[in-house]
Structures are given as C-alpha cells and as structure tokens.
Amino acid sequence: MIPLEDFFRKPDKAMLRISPGGGYLAYLEPYERRLNVVVRNLDTGETHRVTHATERDIAGYTWASDERLIYVQDTGGDENYRLYAVGRDGSNPLRSTSRPSRASSATSSTSSRTTTTRSCSR
C-alpha cells in the first residue's frame, strides 16, 4: 500500500523548463517546505536556487529570456499574486507588481474601473 502522506508531499522536482537558448534547466524544488525555483547549468551541472520563499510556494514561473525568469507568488495566503523577475543566478530580483492583481479585486466596485480596448490591424 502507498502511505497516505505520499499523496500530499511536495514533489522532488516539478515544472521543468529549458531556457530559450537550451543551456539551462529551471524547475521547482522544495526548500524549507516551500517550492522554489532552481536553475541548473546543463554544461557544468552547477545549480542555483534563485528564489528563497519560506512562507508561500512559488505558484508558477517561466523564462523571460536566457538570462531572466519571471514568477508569481501569493502574499500572505490572500491569493493576491504578484509578478517577480530574477536573474538565472538569483541576482537582481525585482517585484514587477505592487498592487493586488485585478482578479483579486473583482469584488471591488466596478464603477471606478475603466476598460480600454485596442484593435489590431494588419
């Protein structure tokens, strides 16, 4: 039989993604019981944990370029996800959003919200 705990434990590695240039592999890996982004150099085998989340898991990530990754993370369990960017070696971390996402403010008044529509022509 499979122990019940095995169904709820964090995976050893998840969401593996190769960098646009093919030289690096990024994935989510547990650190301090939270999923964090790790980058591995495929030539040298060297790995770097580029995020240091201890309160909430990294919810998702992708390569923005061969040098940078972007990721989203919940803050305080309120499901107000914010967008962050970080170098593939963990350098130059930036928070790209400072306010809660629009999805999380869906219960706010829509009278103050303005919708802009763009049309594309070919």
Q: Are 29 and 39 in contact (CB under 8 A)?
A: no
Q: Alpha-carbon distance 67 to 91, whole Å?
A: 10
The model carries a pTM of 0.74
* pLDDT confidence bin for 35, thresholds 50/70/90: very high
Query: Hey, what CATH topology would domain 10-101 get?
Result: Lipocalin (2.40.128)
Q: Among 88, 81, 72, 34, which residue's Cα sits nearest to residue 56? A: 34
State how far the Cα of 24 lies from the Cα of 69, in Å rounded to an integer: 11
For the chain, give the mean pLDDT.
Answer: 82
* pLDDT one-digit tens code per residue, 55-107: 999 999 999 999 999 999 988 778 889 999 999 999 999 887 766 555 544 43
Length of the chain: 122
Contact 20, 41 (CB under 8 A): no
Domain boundaries, the chain: 10-101
